[in-house]
Amino acid sequence: MEYLNALIGNTEMYIPVNEKLGSSMLLAHKRLNYKKHIARMRHAYEGTIESERVEASADFFYVLEDVLDEQG
């Protein structure tokens, strides 16, 4: 069991996750940040890019769903 730093709404918390779910959530977070970096380079994204905590948003859950589909 490990703890993952997450931002849900305006609340920052550590959530307990198992190893497989934690790695899937971090992979989804990295993919989402990559898309934000690309959008920022194209001057299409003006928001902040979180690097140390997982920001649970609608976009994050769409990417997490894709990651989980890939992993089976």
The answer, yes or no, to whether residue 48 has pLDDT greater than 70, is no
pLDDT value for 18: 92
Does residue 50 register a pLDDT over 70?
no
The answer to whether residue 69 scores a pLDDT higher than 90 is: yes
Q: For residue 22, is pLDDT > 80?
A: yes
Are the C-beta atoms of 14 and 5 separated by less than 8 Å?
yes
Helix 58-71 vs helix 19-41: crossing angle, to nearest 10: 120
* Cβ–Cβ < 8 Å for 32, 38: no
DSSP element (H, E) containing 70: helix 58-71
What's the whole-number mean pLDDT along residues 32-49? Answer: 73
